[in-house]
Every structure is written in C-alpha cells, then in structure tokens.
Amino acid sequence: MSATSSETKIALINARVFDGRRLSEPRTVVIDGTVIGTDPADARTVDAGGAALLPGLIDSHIHLHGRETLDQLLGYGVTTGLDMGTWPPELLASLRGLPGSADVRSAGIPAIGPDGPHSHIPGRPDDAVVRDPDQARRYVTARISEGSDYIKIVLEAPGEGGLTQETASALVGAAHAEGKRVVAHAVSAGAYTMALDVGADVITHVPLGPPLDTVQVARIAADGRVVVPTLTMMEGITAAIGQAEAFAGPLRSVTLLHQAGVPVLAGTDANARPGVPFHPPHGESLHHELELLVSAGLSPAEALRAATALPARHFGLTDRGTIAPGLRADLILIDGDPVADIRATRNIVRVWCGGTEHGPARP
C-alpha cells in the first residue's frame, strides 16, 4: 500500500455519501488539496460509479509500533488512530504529521500503579509508575511536555496493586486542570467503578466476565461517560485462554451501554507488543470491531458513526468525522452498502487521507 496521488483538486462524481444515517443519492464531492471543497471547476473527474463514500475511519484504541503501523491502518481505510500507549517519546514524535500517512493522536506513556499486572509489561518506562498523589502533577506535566493529547490511566481490579483511588483522582484532576481528557483502562467491574469515581472522561475496554450491572450502566449514562469497549480484544483474550463462551459478558455489556444511550466508540486495541495476550491487526481489526458492535445491537449506521463522527466529537477532532466542506479530505470509497450490511466496509476501492490517495490493502 502506498500513496498514489496528491493532486490539487478532484471531483468525485456519482458517489453515495454517508451522512451519518443513510447514503445519499449519487452526488459530487470535491477534494480540494487537503480538504473537502465546493467548486469542481478545473478538477480532475473521478467517477465513483454509485459506490458508497464514507468519512475516513477512526480507531479509538491502538498502539503504535512504527511507520508500518500507519501504513497498515491506511490500507484498511483507517485515516486516524488514537494511540493509548506508546514510548519512548522520540518514537511517538517520529510518527506524527507524516505526509501521506494516517494521522495519530496519543496518550504517550500511560500511568500505572507500582505493583499491578501492567507494571510487569516488558520494556515499560520507569516514569509510567505513579506511586502517590504528589507524583501525579509531575507525571501529567511530563506527558504534556512530550506532546500527549490526552492522559491514559490504567486501573486494575481492587487489590491488584494498581493505582490507588487517591492517586487516580489526583491524575484526573491534574489532567483536567490542563484541559486534557482522561482515558481509563478498566477490565473489571471494580475498575469501572473507580473510573467513574475519579472522573475519567473515557473508559476503554469492558469487563471480562459478567456484564456490567444495570446500576453501573445507569451511572455511566448519567455521568456522561464515553466507552470504547474494544470487543475485538475481549473476544481475542477469551479465545486465547480457552474460554470463548466468556465473550458473552463483554458483548452484553455493550448491548446494555448502547440501550442506555452511552456513546460507544469503535476501538480495537490493535498492538504488536510482547506480553499482551492477543494482538489485533492494525486496520483490518476495525472492520471486525464494527461487525461485533452490530452483533451487540448497534445498527450499521450507528456502528459507522462509532468509527467516524463520535470519536471525532468526543476526542475534540473538529476537522474530521463527517463529509462536509472545509473538513479534512479523509475519505474511503466502498463497493457496496455498509448501511445495509456492515461487512461491506471491507470492500475498499479507494482511500484518501488529507487529500492524498492511497491504494487499499491487498491480500
């Protein structure tokens, strides 16, 4: 997969545009440099032939591992990746703003407790460990100086040696004081409760085991929290430990969250890190995530919004997520109708990222 075109202006005719709910009748979308324009004059014409045109997809939970990560994302129409833990800072900086590559936002180094399971991740940096509330502000200041777009905190199950509630609260307070969102890792009911208690803005993953109870779900909805369930990762873990039937719990949690009106974002936890029990492939796994979201009760249109407009809204990416003049020309052309059958998102014909065309991934 490689960039094939960065022409100044293209008039994409006969495209059925996804507006967040349905596909339009065939119409023209202008790609004017890096953004969506309005005037087709002097543009090269490309006939979409009635194919579906979607905003570029956003994966709300990935881990970066080099330039190949960005290429893999683009090959599957993922034009923006929200990274939830990459180090060292020099690696992250090298992957930002690369011409012709998927765009990334990142938490940088996540905050973990001194004795929890995540403290044993191979190669984790020493300054990821936050031992007490007094260290929290220094941690947040360091991440912001390194360019973190939001702060990630890892909450373990009670008694597992993770961040204490006081330390997690101090991290959230310090981040909010600097205008940064906080994403909380939580894979247990107890960690979910802590995420709510400390005021995290986004909770990533859903519990492994029994689904969230109705009281927790109601509180998540009432508190205005956002959830990135990473069903692909939850499914992969349950299969890896030989308990595939346990995936029913995470799936049910998403059903309950969606029914309660909680914003559910599409994220995969795509990674290639040693010591992690499952490695969803970058790019390709987001299409599986969309299918799992539909299995959990979202309509195909709702699943598409979970990978476009909703993450753009909840992560403050005001220049993308929909197809409208002035926004980034992040677009994917699909052979089929993904509003009728979400599996059609896999039938990628063309990808544009910031106005540059890329070929889709090939088997």
Query: Is the pLDDT reported for residue 202 higher than 80?
Result: yes
So what's the pLDDT on residue 122?
Answer: 67
Arithmetic mean of pLDDT, 4-31: 91
In this prediction, residues 328-357 reach a mean pLDDT of 97
Ramachandran category for residue 156: left, alpha or beta (phi over 0 → left; psi -120 to 50 → alpha): beta
Residue 120 has pLDDT above 80, yes or no: no
In the predicted structure, residue 36 carries a pLDDT above the cut 80: yes
Q: What percent of the chain has pLDDT over 90?
A: 88
- State the pLDDT confidence band at 13, using cuts at 50, 70 and 90: very high
DSSP string for 227-254: EE--HHHHHHHHHHTT-GGGGHHHHHHH
Among 165, 71, 43, smallest CA distance to 113 is for: 165
Arithmetic mean of pLDDT, 62-78: 96
Q: Which amino acid is at 300?
A: P
Tell me the per-residue pLDDT of 128-177, one tens digit each, with 9 for 90 and over. Answer: 999 999 999 999 999 999 999 999 999 998 877 799 999 999 999 999 99
**What is the pLDDT confidence band of residue 7, given thresholds at 50, 70 and 90?**
low
Global model pTM greater than 0.75 = yes
